[in-house]
Amino acid sequence: MSLDVTIHLASEADLDALVRLAGAFRDHVGPSTPSATSCCASMAVLLHDASAGFFLASTPTGAAVGYVPCRDRYSAWMLALEAEIEDVFVVREARGRGVGQRLVASAIARAAAKGCRSLGLSTHERNTAAVSLYQRFGSVAESAPRQGGRQLWRQRTLEPV
């Protein structure tokens, strides 16, 4: 059953929600850094960077339930812009309800609209929910050895809009 959320490109007004979600993501994956203060400072900079965008999923009551940071850059190897999804995070209560799929679709649409020729992301091979999500969007995996399994780099070719 899908969850009723709106997806929008975050602005400065969303900074607190983004920092809370990033902290929850950090806690979910295990490291103790970055601190909330450091995260807030870096996100504040990125919210003013034209090459960066944070997609935020919010419920009708305004609760932020997920986010996706995506950045683009010109690639000397591709001779074009390429985009990268840095993270996909959805709070536990909203997982499996289409939120991640809508966030990733928004990042793909923005990357294509900006003229990006590819979109990449990484995930651990044991993160089967993420691997399945990214496969549904047509990404192909390349792998590199990593402790306890492989970190997968997934990439999808985009047709600019």
pLDDT digits (tens, 9 = 90+) for 131-153: 888 788 777 776 555 555 666 67
Does 122 have pLDDT greater than 90?
no
* CATH code at position 70: 3.40.630.30
Instruction: Note whether residue 82 is domain-resident.
Output: yes
Q: Are 99 and 89 in contact (CB under 8 A)?
A: no
Residue 41 lies in domain: 6-157
28 domain-assigned = yes
> Who's near 43: CB < 8 A, 6+ residues apart?
15, 18, 19, 22, 54
Residue 73 lies in a domain: yes
Q: How far from the centroid of its chain's Cα atoms is residue 128's Cα?
A: 16
Does residue 1 belong to any structural domain of this protein? no
Instruction: Return contacts of 134-137, CB within 8 angstroms, 24+ apart.
Output: 134/104, 136/101, 137/104, 137/105, 137/108
Distance between CA 90 and CA 68 in Å, rounded? 9
Q: What is the pLDDT of residues 11-20, one digit of tens each?
A: 999 999 999 9
CA proximity to 83, closest of 140, 14, 27, 156: 156
In the structure encoding, which two tokens stand for residue 81, read together? 């812009």
CB 90 within 8 A of CB 102: no
Number of domains forming the structure of the chain? 1
**Quick check: is 111 in a domain?**
yes
Asked whether residue 130 is domain-assigned, the answer is: yes
Q: Is 116 among the domain residues?
A: yes
**Between 156 and 25, residue with greater pLDDT:** 25
> Which of the four pLDDT bands, split at 50, 70 and 90, describes residue 159?
confident
pLDDT 10s digits, 23-74: 999 998 887 788 889 989 999 999 999 999 999 999 999 999 999 999 999 9
Instruction: Note the pTM of the prediction, 2 decimals.
Output: 0.85
Q: Which runs of consecutive H residues, i.e. helices, occur in the chain?
A: 15-29, 36-46, 99-113, 128-136
Please tell me the distance from the alpha carbon of residue 79 to that of residue 122, in angstroms, as a whole number.
22
3-state DSSP call for residue 46? helix
